[in-house]
């Protein structure tokens, strides 16, 4: 797969390679300060949250999906994600300790 800077990235065979690929993409796409989380080689998070090809997800502390965007990048809804984060924080505050 070619990245935006023209670098060709092979299918990762190890978690380290997958992590290196994610770091490269984060730099090439200038996504900082966004945080990237790398799935394991068995794609457990993708399978659990139907994250493919890419989505914006908000998962609460209990593992509940509080927000799930349509597939990206065109389906990304950062404003809706922000609203979901604010709502989730308010819900946690209201629930108390």
Instruction: Give the pLDDT confidence of 34-91 residue by residue, as tens digits.
Output: 888 899 999 998 888 887 777 888 988 888 899 988 887 777 888 999 999 999 999 9
What pLDDT is recorded for position 70?
87
Instruction: Give the pLDDT confidence of 2-46 residue by residue, as tens digits.
Output: 666 777 778 899 999 999 988 888 888 788 888 888 999 999 988
DSSP string, the chain: -B-TTS-B-PPP-SHHHHHHHHHHHHHHTT-TTS---PPPTT-HHHHHHT--S---EEE-TTS-EEEEPPSTTTT--HHHHHHHHHHHHHHHHHH--
What pLDDT is recorded for position 51?
74
Higher pLDDT, 1 or 18: 18
Domain residue limits, the chain = 1-38, 52-97
């Amino acid at each position: 797969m070619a990245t935006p800077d023209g670098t060709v990235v092979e299918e990762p065979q190890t978690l380290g390679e997958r992590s290196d690929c994610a770091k490269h993409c984060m730099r090439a796409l200038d996504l900082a300060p966004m945080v990237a989380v790398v799935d394991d080689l068995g794609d457990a998070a993708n399978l659990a949250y139907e994250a493919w090809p890419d989505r914006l997800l908000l998962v609460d502390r209990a593992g509940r999906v509080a927000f799930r965007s349509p597939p990206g990048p065109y389906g990304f809804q950062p404003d809706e994600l922000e609203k979901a984060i604010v709502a989730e924080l308010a819900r946690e505050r209201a629930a108390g300790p």
